[in-house]
Amino acid sequence: MTTAPLRKDAARNWHRIVEVGRRMVDEGTPIQLNDVARAAEVGVATVYRHFPTPEALLETLAVDGLEALVERAFAAGDPWPALRDLLYAGVDAQITDRALAPVFAAPVDALPRTTELKRRLVGRFGELLGRAHAAGAVDPAVTAADLMPLMCGVIFAAGVHPAATTAERAATARHYLTVLLEGIRRRS
């Protein structure tokens, strides 16, 4: 389905709304559409016309990161490095883009594009884990259902760590993920 291009003023408003939403997410401020309208200096109806819910705006902010992770997930490689590298990319992305973690954690998606990207990513993750199991690189008792909450735990732990900068939080998350991966890896 294609949509008609936005008029110049509507496109300008859309970009202003997205910029304000990005700033709020980066600052850790919850997205309230009335606050977004005020900060973007547009009417509340304008914000709701573009983004009917705060979740729709949040998912719009996260789409670039989701697309990059899906692209990364389909990069070729040996089973263990491919799985490991995808998990590191996922941790890095969630630490550097604060829109991603809540979008991953949401039980329901506001936008069909988000649902599609998450479906592809989770499917590929399962394939990579299956390949790693088949290669004997990962403990066969470890499932995708095990790893998903553990990954959330790594992100959470890195987020509450007293690191001052995004780079320090990313390094902490990578360290925690390394500990996790060493625990699930099978050795010959």
Query: What is the DSSP secondary-structure string of 63-129?
Result: HHHHHHHHHHHT----HHHHHHHHHHHHHHHHHH-TTHHHHHH-SS-SSHHHHHHHHHHHHHHHHHH
User: Which residues of the chain does CATH 1.10.357.10 include?
Assistant: 62-184
pLDDT confidence bin for 69, thresholds 50/70/90: very high
User: Which residues of the chain does CATH 1.10.10.60 include?
Assistant: 8-52
pLDDT at 163: 66
**CATH C-level class of 8-52:** mainly alpha
pLDDT at 1: 44
**Chain-wide mean pLDDT for the chain?**
92
The single residue listed with the structure tokens 């259902």 is: 145
* DSSP classification of residue 186: -
Give ∠ CA 107-27-87 in degrees, rounded to 5.
50
Least confident residue range of 11-20, 153-162, 171-180 = 153-162
Copy the structure tokens of residue 98: 């604060």
pLDDT at 20: 98
Residue 140 burial (10 A CB sphere; 0-12, 13-18, 19+): exposed
Tens digit of pLDDT for each residue in 149-159?
A: 899 899 988 88
pLDDT at 159: 82
Average pLDDT over residues 84-104: 94
Residue 59's nearest CA partner among 116, 108, 111 is: 111
Give the residue with greater pLDDT, 7 vs 50. 50
Average pLDDT over residues 67-93: 94
pLDDT at 4: 58
CATH number for the segment(s) 62-184:
1.10.357.10
Tens digit of pLDDT for each residue in 34-66?
A: 999 999 999 999 999 999 999 999 999 999 999
Helix or strand or coil: residue 138?
Answer: strand
